[in-house]
Structure 1
Amino acid sequence: MRKPFVRYPCLSILGAALLVRPSVASAADDARLNGTPPVEGASAGSSAGERAAQLYREGNRFYDEAKFVEAEARYQAAWDLQKSFDVAGNLGNVELELKRPREAAEHLAYALEAFPLGERPEKRRFLQDRLAQARSQVGTLRISVNVDNAEVFVDGKLIGLSPLQGEVFVDPGKRDIEARRAGARTSTSLLVARGSDQSITLSLDTGPSIPLVVAGGAVGLLGIASGVTFAFLSTSQGEYADGEPRGSRERAELRETQTTFANVSFWSFVGSGVVLAGTAVYVFSTSSRTPGPQAGITGFHAVPLVTSEVAGMLVGASF
């Protein structure tokens, strides 16, 4: 029978010296947890710490009696009250005995991550060996999302917000991975083998880029302003030409200038129309909202309008 990982008051829980035999301590030792774990903001004299210490002692006692289910329940309750590397180590150790490798891997990984610098190397090796055993029975995922603060779900269970810290341990088989943020969501499914290690990247539609939309709008409006300006100049040149004698050189030059300005105005409107239409399509296509079956824009058109009396653009859309 495996022995509990921690049988003596440890530095991370009690601030006292820890006497450890190689690998694990003997069940016959009478040294017990007699303090409170000062972790994650709980004071050494807090009622939560005292209750965690009591539960920890009870877990040790049940483990000595090979009552792993009862020991796991006590260690879990102590863990829920206050988290520390030694509670996590004992909890992961007994979970592995109970054939619950996924939970064991999570707690053993925490124990190694929070392992104090002053602890004995034998204890670290013990944790590493047990974690390796747990890893061989589950799948390890490294999940990343292209945006921060996205909710990440595995099989419908929220496991945290992106960016996730550390690895995610899952049971072998088909797993559904999903990310959500601000109404946008993306998901994928994969088959996980025992002992596998996979990296997954989820990409959420983050909506249109505001600087790009602003730049597109500004260029489009500048094009319209240019078209209006040259349309006005073209009209003015036409009026001047009307005042010159027919067949005169001045009249011909004014007409030529009028045509040039009219062409510049026309293509300015065409360019601005293309830019604004492209910007509109980009905004609608990158929107994070999911339209209904009959919703959305099905057609969009922009047509420049230049005459001797008016200059502008006709814009239309069908829904």
Structure 2
Amino acid sequence: MVSQLALRTVLFAFATTVLTAAAPALAEDSPENEQTRYREAHRAISRKDWVAARDLLLPLWADSPTYDVASSLALVEYQLGDYPMAARHLAFALEHVAPVEKPETVQRMRSGMLELRGRVGGLRLTANAPTAVVSLNGQVVAASLLGRELFVAPGRHTIEARAAGVAPARQVLDVMPGQTYTVELDLRPAVTPAGSAPARLAEPSALQSDRPEERAWWPVVIGGALTATGLGLAVGFGVAANDAESEWRSRQAGISPSGCLERATSLECVRLRGAIERQHSAATWANVGVGVSALSVAATAAYLLLWPSQPPRVAPALAVNAHSAELGLSGSF
């Protein structure tokens, strides 16, 4: 194998010849802007600004895939270390070289191609299903390239083929430099269990989300029930609290001016303290009822005004004792 310096010499000599010989040909048949970009790429190559040259040549290649642009790209990509792409473009240049090109120039191109083959591997990919989609390392291979030699870096590569109604085929290959491999992917009919219908593709989720969701009314019913329950608690225990308050005030009025001491055990004092505690307890539950009603009304109204994409989830939290109460509702509405 020729050394890297020899290969670089061959490619540079070949590309220099092509650039000087092919530029007029491009200038005759191409728009002025393409001529300008091609000349700018020449200047970038002359000053060995390989990245700038590639940035100029790639759009030109997309617009005018000619052998002279391909040969220029081959040189630039070799200098940048992208040997598979250099081989691809140089192979294109050889296949489409102009008949008027000098024989020595074509010979230099062939020598450069021979040296590049020592750095890359080749793949010829085919599939037995006409509609198969073949991919190389996850990238779809154009149908026009199937059966043609593809240049890849040495190493492990994954080739897959898929088609409707058949089982996919997959092959993993370790590619050696200088070798060309032919890979034939065998797609076979998918096995369907007896008595089962072929699987159907699911509709895209975006289509399902376009259908309006029907309103669920159970949150409104629950909110109404909680509101009624809260009002019942508020009214019932409010009345009980008022009765208890009237009782202890009446008993307090009948006790001597000295009143009841904290630990007095007389019957009237015991009854007085019992009435006060009943009033406090009933008032607490009445407040709970008011809170339940208020929160239920607010949650139901929010649900009706802000129709959610998902049914609301409510988790009530209630803590009550004889002297205080706490009520909370958490969740999404």
TM-score by length of 1: 0.52
Deviations 1:270-303 (A, max 9, x none): xxxxxxxxxxxx9869x9x679xxxxxxxxxxxx
Match of residue 175, structure 1, among 147, 154, 157: 157
With over 3 angstroms needed to count, the CA separation of the structure-2 counterparts of 1:147 and 1:162, relative to structure 1, is farther
**Aligned-partner SS, 1:174:** strand
Identity %: 31
Shift of 1:118: 2.5
Residue of structure 1 equivalent to 2:124: 142
**Aligned-partner SS, 1:7:** helix
Residue of structure 1 equivalent to 2:179: 196
Residue of structure 1 equivalent to 2:27: 34
Q: May I ask how many residue pairs the two structures share in their alignment?
A: 187
Shift of 1:183: 5.2
Residue of structure 2 equivalent to 1:8: 20
Match of residue 103, structure 1, among 85, 99, 103: 85
Please tell me the residue identity of whatever aligns with 1:199. Answer: T
Q: How does 1:72-221 map to 2 (within 5 A)?
A: 72-161=54-143, 164-182=146-164, 184=166, 185-205=168-188
The answer to whether the 8 A contact 2:160-2:169 is kept is yes
The answer to whether the 8 A contact 1:138-1:171 is kept is yes
User: Matched residues in 1 for 2:180 and 2:19: separation?
Assistant: 33
Shift of 1:51: 2.7
Shift of 1:165: 4.5
With over 3 angstroms needed to count, the CA separation of the structure-2 counterparts of 1:165 and 1:78, relative to structure 1, is farther
**Aligned-partner SS, 1:78:** helix
Bigger Cα Rg: 2
Please tell me the residue identity of whatever aligns with 1:8. Answer: T
Deviations 1:77-108 (A, max 9, x none): 21011100110011112211221100001100
Residue of structure 1 equivalent to 2:32: 50
**Aligned-partner SS, 2:78:** helix
Please tell me the residue identity of whatever aligns with 1:190. Answer: L
**Aligned-partner SS, 1:143:** strand
Shift of 1:148: 2.1
User: Matched residues in 1 for 2:192 and 2:53: separation?
Assistant: 57
**Aligned-partner SS, 1:59:** helix
Shift of 1:113: 1.0
The answer to whether the 8 A contact 2:126-2:147 is kept is no
Deviations 1:20-61 (A, max 9, x none): xxxxxxxxxxxxx63444xxxxxxxxxxx4332221111100
User: Matched residues in 1 for 2:144 and 2:43: separation?
Assistant: 40
Deviations 1:207-231 (A, max 9, x none): 7xxxxxxxxxxxxxxxxxxxxxxxx
Please tell me the residue identity of whatever aligns with 2:186. Answer: S
With over 3 angstroms needed to count, the CA separation of the structure-2 counterparts of 1:52 and 1:169, relative to structure 1, is same
With over 3 angstroms needed to count, the CA separation of the structure-2 counterparts of 1:181 and 1:163, relative to structure 1, is farther
With over 3 angstroms needed to count, the CA separation of the structure-2 counterparts of 1:120 and 1:130, relative to structure 1, is same
Match of residue 60, structure 1, among 24, 27, 42: 42
User: Matched residues in 1 for 2:55 and 2:29: separation?
Assistant: 18
User: Matched residues in 1 for 2:159 and 2:80: separation?
Assistant: 27
Q: How does 1:271-290 map to 2 (within 5 A)?
A: none
User: Matched residues in 1 for 2:152 and 2:145: separation?
Assistant: 18
**Aligned-partner SS, 2:170:** strand
Shift of 1:156: 0.3
User: Matched residues in 1 for 2:187 and 2:33: separation?
Assistant: 44
Please tell me the residue identity of whatever aligns with 2:52. Answer: E
Shift of 1:117: 2.3
With over 3 angstroms needed to count, the CA separation of the structure-2 counterparts of 1:149 and 1:54, relative to structure 1, is farther
User: Which stretch shows the higher mean deviation, 103-112 or 154-163?
Assistant: 154-163
* Structure 1: 5+ residue stretches without partners: 17-32, 38-48, 208-281, 292-319
Higher helix share: 2
CA RMSD of aligned residues (A): 3.0
Shift of 1:69: 1.6
Q: How does 1:228-267 map to 2 (within 5 A)?
A: none
**Aligned-partner SS, 2:161:** strand
Shift of 1:152: 1.4
The answer to whether the 8 A contact 2:125-2:147 is kept is no
The answer to whether the 8 A contact 1:152-1:162 is kept is no
User: Matched residues in 1 for 2:199 and 2:151: separation?
Assistant: 32
User: Matched residues in 2 for 1:58 and 1:162: separation?
Assistant: 32
TM-score by length of 2: 0.50
User: Matched residues in 1 for 2:180 and 2:107: separation?
Assistant: 21
Please tell me the residue identity of whatever aligns with 1:96. Answer: Y
**Aligned-partner SS, 1:133:** helix
With over 3 angstroms needed to count, the CA separation of the structure-2 counterparts of 1:63 and 1:197, relative to structure 1, is same
